[in-house]
Structure 1
Amino acid sequence: MKVFVRSIDSKGTEEVAKATERNKKKETNMGPNSPMDNCISLEDDNSPTVGNNPTIGNNQIVVCAVDRIVSLHRNLLCTALVLTPSAFVISAAQIMVKNSKSKLFRSLVLAITALVLEPTAPVVSPTKYSKRVILKTILGRGDGGAGLVGGRVVIGGWVKTSKEVTKKPVPPPVVEGDKVGSKDVTCVETIPTRLPFFRSIMKVFVGSHEPVREKLDSVVQKLPPPPPPLQQSSLFAVLQVSDGSCAANLQVLVDSSIERPSQVMQTGTCILAEGFLQQPEEPGKHAVELKVAKLLHVGTVDQDKYPLSKKRLPLDMLRDFSHFRPRTTTVASVARIRNGLTQATHTFFMINGFLYVQVPIITTADCEGFSEKFHVSTLLGEKIKQEVITTDDTAGISSETVKASIKEKNKQIEVLQRSDSNKEALAAALQDLQITSELVALMEAKEAAKQKFESRASVKPVLVDFSEDFFSRQTYLTVSGRLHLESYARALGNVYSFGPRFQAQKSESKRNVAEMWMVEVEMAFSQLEDAINCAYDLLKSVSQWALDNCSEDLKFLSKRVDQTIEDRLEKMTSSSFRRISYEAAVEVLKQVKDKKFEATIELGAPLTEEHESYLADEIYKMPVIIDSYPKELKPFYVRLNDDGKTVAAFDMIVPKTAILLVTKLENICSQVGKLIRASQNEERLSMLTTRIMELGLPKEQYEWYLDLRMHGTVIHSGFSLAFDLLVAYATGLIDVRDVIPFPRSHGKANN
């Protein structure tokens, strides 16, 4: 292996070195005045020589490639196709060092490898569809984003809080001018500019080699740089920005030279900014901050009208601004936990072999048999509008008087039409007649509306002919999807559905609203015990998922809302449940002496929320399953037990949670209570038909449901989980309206 070296002295003049005897043949072949004149050679295991001098000075530079590199580069390029750039360079270096016996050559290879692998600024991958970096990828790291310092990113979000600061200028460092004279150039700096193969590698992995060439050619004296100009104090807007991907905020610095601070500091302002991640000057809760280099978008707010300008609005006030409240940290955390529980629910059923089925929202059957329903109809009665007129120009004038004036105007028009001398007067008379006619029509309409409004109280209701309706029959918003889900369970086995359900209850309960999301399950060839096991496994699974994947939001809500959130979910994943019958529950409650219940406790009466919570919180202190309810308390489709009085159904009651509100420092109880309702459904046609007749339900609405028993009936069971109550249980919020994105309750439907 041979390496040829040219000698250059410190003044830039070249000295001709005599070629060694080992290179005479090559020099002769290349002819006189060859570029290889004045060169020395390096043989394997031999030191380089210049004439009889066995040493090489620091200012001697490698200018020609090594024969072995040329023979190896083809294999190295093939290796690059399957390795990363860094792995390719390391692999190439290992091969060349291993196959070389020259110490100098091995040193050169290692030096070039170190140069190629020189660390660069960290790269933060943007999201696929908006070309911005999600803040969670920065702030969700174990180091809080400190490892990404120096990276250039584009972020977008909304300003949560802000302040204006003035930074004093930092004195510039003293830079000494370059010394007069030449400078030594190392082999590492020269090889990429002189060897074509390494120049190609450097272009691919490092970039252009021109800066090195500039250093190589700089042999002239440089004048010292001029002193830096005096800097002035900088005015910055320090913003706490959130994009909703995590609970943490990114600190963003916007220089006043880029945008006026007042333009970006208002709470709720949306910004899209490009800049560099850097370490904060003052250590604190932020491990990294963004210094903005360019503002790509600013969405301003009207501070006087923006409802979230005030800090820490109570949740009940935020319900009036449901379109803005996701921008608050609390509601955003609840939304992310809700998303996590949704994903956990689907994952649980997919892992356990269930199929997801979408059931209809509009139905012709009353699924519960006794619930209050929303009717769906396009046959709306005639609307009565009461017009409020602030200025009435027709006050004191009757429509009959105006009609009389119309007759007079018609006579005038007839006279003008017989005379062709005054066409302008005729046109004016026609226009006046048109205005008067419109006035009469308006007055008649007002009088008719007034009569209808005054007689509205005496209007009697009329029967609606639903054959003229959109569906040609009476329809409702579904209360439960379990009836429709049964048809798929009898064909596909285990199925589930996840969607909104509706009840028209005019109540102000914190546990129920008009529209609630339910997880509903139906399992063929299963009994009540199977439904109990599946329901409890589901609760354990989603609780563990929340602990594993929503820890940041749970910790935030633990500080802001409920200090016991994580402990409660931990207990749900590990604790068991207590199972008792309805009759036993009534007997236990009757024996309570130190508590006076508002509702009377007796057999046959439904258990209230107060009764159920006392069993779970005070007596058993764990989740309670109550089964064997009287048939009068459950829907018509629940299977009748052998005693003919009770049915195969159960309710799962979770303990209420004593919540310590951090903001108000007061103890209250969350209103979760009954979380799951389940049953083994009636598979016997005769028994189901009898139950429909006993409750007086219209049989024609359930003909399709009875057909499932007539053709290929099977035992089956299932349950319904109130998903909104599950979110309330996981977040510690006491009102279900605060965990639903757009709650619908009696008298409230803002958007």
Structure 2
Amino acid sequence: MAAFEAAESSSPRPKPNPLAPFKYSKRVLLKTLLERGDGGAEFIGERVVIGGWVKSSREEKIEPPRAPPTPQDQAGPAEEQKDVSCVEILQTRIPFFRSIVKVFGGINYTVRPKLEGPAVPPKLLPSTAYLRVSDGSCVPSLLVVVDSSLASPSQLLPTGTCILVQGVLRQSSNPGKHAVELEADKVLHIGTVDQSSYVFSKKRLPLDMLRSCLHFRPRTTTVGSVMRLRSSLTFATHTFFQNHGFLNVQVPIITSTDSEGSSEKFLITAISSRDSEKEDQKFTKEKDNISLDVVKAAVKEKSALVEQLKRSESNKEALAAAVQDLKKTNELAAQLEAREKSKHGASSKPESSQNPFIEKTYLTVSGRLHLESYASALGNVYSFGPRFRATRVESPKLLPEMWMVETEMAFSKLENAMDCADDFFKVLCKWALDNCIEDMKFVCKRIDKTSIDRLQSATSKPFAKITYTEAVEALKKVSPSTHLIRKKLMLHHIYCILITISCGFLGQG
């Protein structure tokens, strides 16, 4: 058995096929082709199935070859035809005149046979469609060449068309820009689009324009790159904490606790604002002229009446009516007490049966309190999820929802939390450079030209760890004229804020 295992370990294992299709759709992801160092040139000649949507397209007509010259064409121009006489013209135009000429022995006229049947439409010229196809797995797109004999170009050319094609990879006709292209030999599926309602075009569209049609935004290169970066960094976050012995805790999104105390929160209720206003108006109108003391006195009287009827046991119907009346009076007293408390800051709204919660409930601002209880039992824990703050902002680009990393570590000091934040941030920067370089190149080209340089600087240099007091004192010493020095100190101050914020997320257990 040992010899067999040794032989198995010594035998060469087959290398994984880099062009293996996606397990659940039998198509090859473009990322496996186009994000290689050679741009996919290694796979020239391979037959693959790819699917995606058309980002841009063009069509080239194929001119038919000219027919070889006939012997008549080579012999030269034909003999000139004789001039047509007036009599021949009259015979052609007027059949009755032609009959008269025949009777008197005129010139014989040969009637040409008429063509019968509908006119034959001109034959469409064959063409080739060049489609730039993307499947969302990477920034680059693949050029797909489809002959008109496989599918109608009118279905393939519109931007946004979804296609699934099979073909052979060949060397690109434009090697300077792309390494490979796909010559399709079979079209497996076409998903057409309505061009009148499809907002995309070959021109670059501003993101603000797409706010009215959010379902199209993922097809923009910018949003696609951001989503791939976010997905990769989410995986990096879980990988970092799992490798360092942290346990992932899912804190509740709907909670009655307030972890920060001073932040604005979203209140959760099943009552619409319109129904709530109607309920308030009705409650205020009916109860304004009723005194709480009078209602409490009525409660005492009706309670005594109920006790008296219970002792007598003479009339059960009267007892049931008295109990029901007492219950309504108690509810009225509770509502009036709530109104009295509202004058001192409590809520004036009566309890409603439509509200699914028995107490005030909010969207979570932070999961810190939950993590502290788990850290006291499990040691090092972390949470990564959505957090909400009801801060009023004027800009439509600022959203009240954010995703936050929060950790709690048992038996750790402030320096340990700062080191953890430092390591975590550097891992994220290095992860983006190592695993998302194509998306980072796009970000550097279109959004921020210094993004890659700043990530490289963050991974290679240690952060300055100073207090807020030290940062403010350093800024006070800088003269307003020395702009460069002030800029460097501001950069250090930003790093200080970053570490402090991270330490706020990475609290001590």
Structure with higher helix content: 2
TM-superposed CA distance for 1:127, in Å, is 0.5
Q: Give yes or no for the alignment of 1:575 onto 2:421.
A: no
3-state SS, counterpart of residue 164 of structure 2: strand
Alignment of 1:278-293 (within 5 A): 278-293=170-185
Aligned to 1:300: 192
Aligned to 1:549: 435
The structure-2 alpha-carbon separation of the partners of 1:679 and 1:583, relative to structure 1 and needing over 3 Å to count, comes to farther
Q: Give yes or no for the alignment of 1:523 onto 2:409.
A: yes
CA distance in 2, matches of 1:253, 1:279: 12
Aligned to 1:193: none
3-state SS, counterpart of residue 234 of structure 2: helix
Which one of 240, 254, 257 corresponds to residue 348 of structure 1? Answer: 240
TM-superposed CA distance for 1:620, in Å, is 4.9
* 1:61-83: CA deviation from partner (whole Å, max 9, x where unpaired): xxxxxxxxxxxxxxxxxx99x97
Q: What is the total number of aligned residue pairs between the two structures?
A: 375
CA distance in 1, matches of 2:200, 2:226: 18
CA distance in 2, matches of 1:503, 1:580: 29
TM-superposed CA distance for 1:500, in Å, is 0.4
Alignment of 1:396-475 (within 5 A): 462-465=348-351, 469-475=355-361
Q: Give yes or no for the alignment of 1:676 onto 2:502.
A: yes
Aligned to 1:132: 27
Aligned to 1:36: none
CA distance in 1, matches of 2:187, 2:493: 54
CA distance in 1, matches of 2:506, 2:183: 62
TM-score under structure 1 normalisation?
A: 0.46
* 1:573-616: CA deviation from partner (whole Å, max 9, x where unpaired): 02222233333444444555538xxxxxxxxxxxxxxxxxx999
Aligned sequence identity (%): 54
Aligned to 2:145: 253
Q: Contact 2:409–2:506 (CA<8 Å) still a contact in 1?
A: no
CA distance in 1, matches of 2:233, 2:26: 28
CA distance in 1, matches of 2:351, 2:395: 35
CA distance in 2, matches of 1:264, 1:86: 39
Q: Contact 2:132–2:144 (CA<8 Å) still a contact in 1?
A: yes
TM-superposed CA distance for 1:290, in Å, is 1.1
Q: Give yes or no for the alignment of 1:479 onto 2:365.
A: yes
Aligned to 1:621: 491
**Partner amino acid for 2:260?**
E
The structure-2 alpha-carbon separation of the partners of 1:149 and 1:680, relative to structure 1 and needing over 3 Å to count, comes to closer
CA distance in 2, matches of 1:519, 1:86: 41
Aligned to 2:251: 359
Which one of 319, 332, 335 corresponds to residue 224 of structure 2? Answer: 332
**Partner amino acid for 2:219?**
R
The root-mean-square deviation of aligned C-alpha atoms, in Å, is: 3.5
Q: Give yes or no for the alignment of 1:493 onto 2:379.
A: yes
Which one of 50, 54, 79 corresponds to residue 159 of structure 1? Answer: 54
Aligned to 2:214: 322
Q: Contact 1:576–1:623 (CA<8 Å) still a contact in 2?
A: no
Aligned to 2:449: 563
3-state SS, counterpart of residue 622 of structure 1: helix
* 1:115-160: CA deviation from partner (whole Å, max 9, x where unpaired): xxxxxxx993211001111111121222222222222211100111
Aligned to 1:45: none
CA distance in 1, matches of 2:386, 2:162: 32
Q: Contact 2:170–2:181 (CA<8 Å) still a contact in 1?
A: yes
TM-score under structure 2 normalisation?
A: 0.66
Q: Contact 1:577–1:624 (CA<8 Å) still a contact in 2?
A: no
* 1:266-325: CA deviation from partner (whole Å, max 9, x where unpaired): 111111111222223443312111112221211112222112235211122233333211
Q: Give yes or no for the alignment of 1:275 onto 2:188.
A: no
CA distance in 2, matches of 1:546, 1:514: 26
The structure-2 alpha-carbon separation of the partners of 1:586 and 1:123, relative to structure 1 and needing over 3 Å to count, comes to closer
CA distance in 1, matches of 2:236, 2:148: 46
TM-superposed CA distance for 1:506, in Å, is 1.4
**Range with bigger deviation, 462-471 or 515-524:** 462-471
Alignment of 1:21-170 (within 5 A): 124-167=19-62
* 1:27-61: CA deviation from partner (whole Å, max 9, x where unpaired): xxxxxxxxxxxxxxxxxxxxxxxxxxxxxxxxxxx
- Unaligned residue ranges in structure 1 (runs of 5+): 1-78, 88-121, 172-231, 386-460, 596-613, 627-650, 654-673, 682-715, 718-751
The structure-2 alpha-carbon separation of the partners of 1:675 and 1:320, relative to structure 1 and needing over 3 Å to count, comes to farther
TM-superposed CA distance for 1:379, in Å, is 3.1
3-state SS, counterpart of residue 652 of structure 1: helix
The structure-2 alpha-carbon separation of the partners of 1:264 and 1:621, relative to structure 1 and needing over 3 Å to count, comes to same
- Unaligned residue ranges in structure 2 (runs of 5+): 1-6, 67-123, 278-346
Q: Contact 1:363–1:478 (CA<8 Å) still a contact in 2?
A: yes
